[in-house]
């Protein structure tokens, strides 16, 4: 079964908003087993939307139109779709009642333009909006189904879920798509693809796709199957083949997973604490750690030692050799990692220093990053060079530093 998405909104064409709805809907529909070959974006224009509907209806069994269901003059999706289908618009009683209750609570009467949000198309199934006022709908015409959803992402997701049982009932699919996402660090996308070349070239089902992220790589494994059990067996089998080749670079699962989440979870499991001293990353690591819920249980604080004087003061306070602060090298980063651990009285100390540019420092080229992890048992360090812009270098220092810590915790 084929589906096509039409996003409606001049603001998308002008780049004023990002079309995140398409990302969500693509995954939503793929998981149901629909094949997606085309997407369209069209402005708030009746004529152009009619053309888009005509094109999509020739290619797809399900046409999903997202946006343009609101109360303003340029919200034309329901009217235009009704015209395309040759059907009349009518008010849905439940949607109208929800509108009236909402405006009663706000001590205002329902205006004529707001009543548009309760319109549906004759013969269609109305989808109520638990997150807003504009109802959606599912209509059928000449064997093609038309799913109309509101544009605001929160409302779109809510109404799409309302329509899920109908989609499963009216458009039964024998197949489903399931994906697993693997995250890797310390390996580039091209090298990952090269290591997996044989698997990629001979892929049928499951399939592999690599995605370059900032200072890391994500691999998606997707299996087409009829049952969840069948899908999981296929995904597990392919994952094992992948891990046999590049498992040393793997750090976790999840499309939205971050290395800081992984580290915080590990620290919780170990009932261990962490402190951080940053130079080149300028506090970025500490900020990201505090973004993780529950991180206060394990992350006790840190220092941004961006200047030579601050490094000296930290080493002096920890009764470490202040001479280590003079030259950017392995001795300095290890001394800082030990110092922050001792000062903050934590199980682990993490230090990240380096050269963000524009000039060399102590003969270290721009992009040089020195990392160290210190525990009571030992202190280790690692050096790498990230040849990119300043923000990318800072991001790399944080991610590779936390990854070094992850490996040390897991030893």
Q: What pLDDT was estimated at residue 171?
A: 66
Secondary structure (DSSP) of 248-299: GGEEEE-TT--HHHHHHHHHHHHT--EEEEESTTTTHHHHHHHTSTTGGGTE
The residue among 128, 101, 137, 134 whose CA lies nearest residue 115 is: 134
Q: What pLDDT was estimated at residue 288?
A: 98
164: left (phi over 0), alpha (psi -120 to 50) or beta: alpha
- pLDDT of residue 369 exceeding 80, the answer is yes
The residue among 218, 214, 208 whose CA lies nearest residue 182 is: 218
Q: Max CA-CA distance within the chain?
A: 83
The whole-angstrom separation of Cα 185 and Cα 22 is 28
The whole-angstrom separation of Cα 134 and Cα 369 is 52
Query: Would you list the domain boundaries of the chain?
Result: 2-170, 176-253, 259-410
* Distance set, CA 405 to CA 156, 259, 324, 400 (Å): 40, 10, 22, 9
Q: What is the pLDDT of the chain when averaged over all its residues?
A: 95
- pLDDT of residue 112 exceeding 90, the answer is no
Q: What pLDDT was estimated at residue 31?
A: 79
User: What is residue 362's DSSP assignment?
Assistant: T
Q: What pLDDT was estimated at residue 73?
A: 87
Q: What pLDDT was estimated at residue 92?
A: 96
Q: Is there a common fold for 2-170 and 259-410?
A: no
Q: What is the mean pLDDT of residues 62-83?
A: 96
Name the burial class of residue 394, with classes exposed (0-12), middle (13-18) and buried (19+) by CB atoms within 10 angstroms of its CB: buried
CATH code for 176-253? 3.30.70.2860
Tens digits of per-residue pLDDT, 175-192? Answer: 778 899 999 999 999 999
CATH code for 2-170? 3.40.980.10
Tens digits of per-residue pLDDT, 331-361? Answer: 999 999 999 999 999 999 999 999 999 999 9
Alpha-carbon Rg for the chain in angstroms: 27
Tens digits of per-residue pLDDT, 12-51? Answer: 999 999 999 999 999 899 878 888 999 999 999 999 999 9
> Taking a C-beta distance cutoff of 8 angstroms, is the pair 381, 371 a contact?
yes
Share of the chain above pLDDT 70, in %: 99
- pLDDT of residue 173 exceeding 80, the answer is no
Tens digits of per-residue pLDDT, 78-106? Answer: 999 999 999 999 999 999 999 999 888 87
> Taking a C-beta distance cutoff of 8 angstroms, is the pair 35, 94 a contact?
no
Report residue 295's pLDDT band, with 50, 70 and 90 as the boundaries: very high
| Sheet containing strand 2-8, strands side by side | 35-42, 2-8, 62-66, 144-149, 136-141, 125-127
Cis peptide bond upstream of 62, omega within 30: no
The residue among 163, 203, 342, 350 whose CA lies nearest residue 274 is: 350
- pLDDT of residue 170 exceeding 90, the answer is no
Q: What pLDDT was estimated at residue 154?
A: 96
CA 356: distance to chain centroid? 27
Q: What pLDDT was estimated at residue 240?
A: 98
> Taking a C-beta distance cutoff of 8 angstroms, is the pair 253, 182 a contact?
yes
- The phi and psi torsions of 20 (rounded to 5 degrees) equal -70, -20
What's the pTM? Answer: 0.76
Q: What is the mean pLDDT of residues 219-223?
A: 95
- pLDDT of residue 242 exceeding 90, the answer is yes
Q: What is the mean pLDDT of residues 313-318?
A: 96
Q: What pLDDT was estimated at residue 83?
A: 98
> Taking a C-beta distance cutoff of 8 angstroms, is the pair 119, 151 a contact?
no
CATH topology of domain 259-410: Maf protein (3.90.950)
């Amino acid at each position: 079964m084929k589906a096509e998405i039409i996003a409606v909104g001049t603001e998308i064409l002008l780049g004023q908003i990002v079309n995140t709805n398409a990302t969500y809907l693509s995954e939503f529909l793929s998981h149901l087993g629909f094949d997606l070959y085309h997407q369209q974006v069209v402005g708030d224009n009746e004529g152009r939307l009619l053309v888009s509907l005509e094109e999509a209806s020739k290619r797809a069994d399900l046409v999903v139109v997202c946006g343009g269901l609101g109360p303003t003059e340029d919200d034309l999706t329901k009217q235009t779709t009704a015209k395309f289908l040759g059907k009349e618009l009518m008010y849905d009683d439940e949607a109208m009642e929800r509108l009236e209750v909402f405006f009663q609570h706000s001590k205002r009467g329902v205006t004529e333009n707001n009543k548009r949000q309760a319109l549906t198309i004759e013969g269609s199934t109305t989808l109520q909006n638990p997150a807003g006022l504009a109802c959606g709908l599912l209509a059928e015409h000449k064997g093609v189904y038309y799913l109309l959803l509101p544009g605001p992402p929160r409302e779109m997701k809510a109404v799409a879920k309302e329509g899920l049982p109908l989609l499963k009932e009216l458009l039964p699919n024998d197949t489903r798509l399931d994906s697993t996402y693997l995250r890797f660090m310390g390996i580039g996308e091209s090298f990952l693809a090269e290591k997996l070349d044989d698997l990629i070239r001979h892929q049928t089902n499951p399939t592999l796709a690599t995605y370059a992220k900032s200072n890391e790589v994500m691999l998606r494994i997707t299996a087409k199957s009829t049952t969840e059990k069948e899908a999981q067996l296929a995904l597990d089998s392919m994952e094992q083949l992948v891990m046999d080749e590049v498992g040393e670079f793997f750090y976790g699962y999840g499309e939205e997973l971050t290395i800081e989440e992984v580290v915080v979870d590990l620290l919780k499991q170990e009932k261990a604490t962490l402190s951080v001293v940053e130079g080149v990353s300028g506090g970025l690591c500490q900020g990201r750690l505090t973004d993780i819920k529950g991180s206060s249980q394990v992350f006790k604080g840190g220092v941004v030692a961006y200047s030579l004087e601050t490094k000296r003061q930290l080493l002096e306070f920890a009764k470490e050799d202040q001479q280590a602060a003079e030259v950017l090298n392995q001795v300095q980063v290890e001394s800082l990692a030990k110092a922050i651990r001792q000062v903050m009285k934590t199980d682990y100390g993490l230090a990240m220093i380096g050269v963000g540019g524009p000039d060399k420092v102590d003969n270290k080229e721009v992009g040089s990053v020195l990392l160290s992890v210190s525990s009571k048992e030992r202190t280790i360090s690692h050096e790498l060079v990230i040849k990119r812009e300043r923000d990318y270098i800072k991001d790399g220092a944080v991610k590779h530093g936390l990854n070094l810590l992850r490996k040390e915790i897991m030893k």
